[in-house]
Every structure is written in structure tokens, then in C-alpha cells.
Amino acid sequence: MTSTVIYEGDLRTVATHLQSGTEIATDAPVDNQGKGERFSPTDLVATALGACMATTMGIKARDMQVDLRGMKLSILKIMKPDPRRIAGINVVFQFPDTLQVDEKQKAILERTAHTCPVMYSIHPDLEVKVEFNWNTAAVTTV
């Protein structure tokens, strides 16, 4: 078993990761009768995509001896009504100014992000837009 979820009432839950004991609390969003004081379940779906992309890139970067520490992802979840669902997720990567990678490394890391397990799990009707802002000094390879 991966986790347990307890409904606290008032449209709130607490999920517990069984292996580590870490908890994530959720709340319904303001536009769906909630208080919006915690992640909503659909926020977690969008955030999971970004976390998965960053994690798989981190694995590949480590293999290439590239340090992605400080990489920041901004996530925007777009909802649609009738039936209420996630219609799109926008992910914007911002890399530290100190990061030095060449064009081949960038291509490998971008491809890795696009092929993370969560990306492969998203329904094809959900539109995902990804932007990579490298802002890095040019590196030449010999």
C-alpha cells in the first residue's frame, strides 16, 4: 500500500505516505466550495507532474555530472467545467544563472522531462505546455 487518505470534514483530507509517514493536507479550492487554504487534489496532480519532471531530470543530470540544484518550476493548472476537470498544465523551468550545460545536455534533459512517468500517465486530452528558460552561459564542447 502507498498511502492512506482521511477525510477530515469541511472538504479537507490528510494523506499519509506509509513508507515515510509524511503528510499532505488538501482542501477544496475556493471556486469549488472550499477554503483554498491547502493544495487541492487537482493542484497535486499538476504539482506531481512538475515534481516528476524535476526528479527524472535530476537523475539524468546526476548521471551526466550536472548539478541542477536551484532549478525552479512554476506550475499553472487550468480547470474546465462540465465535467469539472483539469484541462491543461503549464510548466515553466527556470535554471540557475550559474548552470553550465551545452546544447546536447539541454536536449537530453528536456527529453527526459517530457518522458517522466507522470507525463506518460496524463490523459492525452489534457494540454501540457512546457517552457525551458536555461539562462545559462554558453559552454563549448571539444
Domain range for 32 is 1-39
- For residue 69, the Cα-to-chain-centroid distance in whole angstroms is 16
Are 109 and 73 part of one and the same domain? Answer: yes
Question: What value does the mean pLDDT take over residues 129-138?
Answer: 83
Whether 101 has a pLDDT exceeding 80, the answer reads: yes
Are 48 and 31 part of one and the same domain? Answer: no
Whether 72 has a pLDDT exceeding 50, the answer reads: yes
Amino acid at the residue 37: E
Are 102 and 118 part of one and the same domain? Answer: yes
Are 35 and 49 part of one and the same domain? Answer: no
Handedness of CA 92, 98, 101, 103 (dihedral sign): positive
Q: What is the mean pLDDT of the chain?
A: 94
Per residue in 83-92, pLDDT (tens digit) is 999 999 999 9
pLDDT at 136: 60
Per residue in 18-66, pLDDT (tens digit) is 999 999 999 999 999 999 999 999 999 999 999 999 999 999 999 999 9
Report the domain count for the chain. 2
Are 15 and 55 part of one and the same domain? Answer: no
Report the CATH number that the domain containing residue 83 is assigned in CATH.
Answer: 3.30.300.20
Are 9 and 77 part of one and the same domain? Answer: no
Are 71 and 120 part of one and the same domain? Answer: yes
